[in-house]
Structure 1
Amino acid sequence: MVLVRLLRSLVHTGSLAIVDATGRRTLVGDGSPPEATVRVRGWTSELAIAANPALKLGEAYMDGRLVVEAGSIYDVLDVVARNLGTVRNGPIMAALEGLGDRLGKAGRLKRARRQVAHHYDLSARLYDLFLDDDRQYSCAYYRAPDEDLDTAQHNKKRHIAAKLNLDRPGLRVLDIGSGWGGLGVYLAETFGAHVTGVTLSTEQLSYSQARAAASPAADRLDFQLRDYREVEGPFDRIVSVGMFEHIGKRNYDSFFAKVRDLLTDDGVALIHAIGFADAPGPINPFMRKYIFPGAELPSLSEVFAAVERIRLWATDAEVLRLHYAMTLRAWRERFMANAADAAALYDERFVRMWEFYLALCEIGFRRRTNMVWQLQLTRRVDTLPITRDYIVDTERRLMAAERDAAQQQPHHAA
């Protein structure tokens, strides 16, 4: 069995049992946790997974041709990933992570809109099954490991706002890839900013506009169905969370050039995105085909090179390591707790596809080289204070104000 031979050469710690098409059971590994058992239905499935595991493992699970009989698909991926370490080189890694396709996508406007619609224009009810109450669909910021998802996502908004240095009301803010509007609403309501949010998702747009209309800062919120390349400035602040992954490697220079051109002379930009902690490489082929068509994850070497070419100042950089792993676990647990509702919206195959997606991504942040970076940019060297104290000071001030506001809320007897 080709698949067994591949796994036997790879898995030395942990325990993975494979039941083949004849019912024969083979155990690989050393018998220690984590443990999982999978059944592969059909010789063709075994051969396909062995030949192209980066794509075919997820497809087989999604289609019910690979069945997890003990443990979960997360446990299966965890066993494999623990044995891979954090090196994405060599023939085995090339097979497992699909390192053949290194070309970025051109990112033309029509293609970009189609790619966004593929994922973000799914049923609004789907996202309610696993996201926080504010529908933040990006890495949360955990100040402590035991914080709940809603708290961690609010932390993220506060952390980003502090880096934007919104030091006076009335600042003009552009939110590139504004999602369901939560960050924009927060900046407008908390700091008195005038926020323009742009998205290519019609579902996100309608939701954001409804939120804006209901906000006390409605006159300072403007959400538009527009590509960032079509926006005209200037803006005092630019923020982009979880959108840079979708612009394509060929467009890094043009993206940062657009940011530079849209910023005022004393403006500040904050870009938050997923990347690799090692050498540049392509996104997993399962993710590209089924979840985020056209997405590309950058290494910081690629990002900084583009920033240097465009002659922007990188005034602050932060790497968030396990924060997204914790976020993804919370999403996966919520999603699986509501799997029946997700199946009612779509079908069981969709549920398995999304379970695999969420598990694979969490493994990427826990065992592989995925991380999240936040990069602060300015046009001038003297735009911001010369130490990072203002970031911490702003967050502490906001947290104190939130505590005071919570204490002033009336307490109702049970």
Structure 2
Amino acid sequence: MTGPPLRLPGADGRLHDFTPRGAVPAPAGAAPPRSRTAYAAAHVVADPVAGNAIGAPARLDWDATLGFRHRLWDLGLGVADAMDTAQRGMGLDWPATAELIRRSAAEAAGRGALLCCGAGTDHLGPGASTTLEEVEAAYTEQLETVEGAGATPVLMASRHLAACARGPDDYAKVYGRLLEQVRGPVILHWLGTAFDPALVGYWGHGDPAEAIDTVAGIIADHAARVDGIKVSLLDADLEVRLRGRLPAGVRLYTGDDFNYPELIEGGAEGHSHALLGIFAAIAPAAAAALRALDDADTDGFRAALEPTVPLARHIFAAPTFYYKTGIAFLSWLNGHQPGFTMVGGLHSARDLVHLSKALRLADAAGVLTDPDLAAARMRSLLEISGVR
């Protein structure tokens, strides 16, 4: 790194000199991995000169937002779009989401790339009093948008369904009706309360371990309509239990941003595929690791992916739902967006100590694509934050 060391604030309230080591990710080819299906859940880039205040309609920098998706595709990863990483329920309103789905789908179609997009019920608005029929209708409307754009739908967990369902049978009824009408196989979505506290009791059970039977039963009843299920519980044991209950041909997509290396590698009992927010932040390392798995090189897989786990655990630390800030921060450090801004002002959700540690861990993981640029950008953030 050129220039003097960075002076980064630490948890002890002091400034500490830091110089990035300068290691950059190994290049990876553009072909999708063969051994696993892998999606990186992508964030959105706010337009820095448009109104993106809390509660205001989202205004996106479309060039940077779509350019980031092309970067993921260039590495051979699929893109999971319009999901919680893209700030669904945390600043990205439905009109902007629908436009994002249409634009991303057009870009994916232009290059034959892998894309799935979230369909939910968030356009009903927060706190809306709904019935099961209204939840189903809301899902149907968003499904039509995703399927009409040509993307694979992800049936996202619904706050409205969590609020109005009275037990497992209500979930089975709503999901059953939706799965009967979809045009092709979809991905289900099990998001734990660490990611969204409003989803407590999802699938009709307060304890996720007790919900496995319900989830497995819904999938078994509609296996031909289910490509897989994304599980974001941050509990590897529960994920493995559910994985063992899935019908042949139905994938378990890990959304566990704490334990993803062991779950993706798997063992004699099987393995998980990937639909991960952290893959957007560590895309070169993730791509290299999956290439190694293709070649049955488990040592290479671990060497590429395991150094990223401390970074992932930090970015997804409680309150976990603010992980989007870390994803956008690293995107900015790596030059994939012009500024560190987010819709709804969410760039302020993590403090400077947290971001400074994220920089250190990203450097240790070898996912700073241009350490000099990252240092220069961090220096500018420190300066406007009053760190001298």
Q: With the length of structure 1 as denominator, give the TM-score of the two structures.
A: 0.32
Q: With the length of structure 2 as denominator, give the TM-score of the two structures.
A: 0.33
Answer with 1 or 2: which has the greater Rg. Answer: 1
Bigger strand fraction: 1
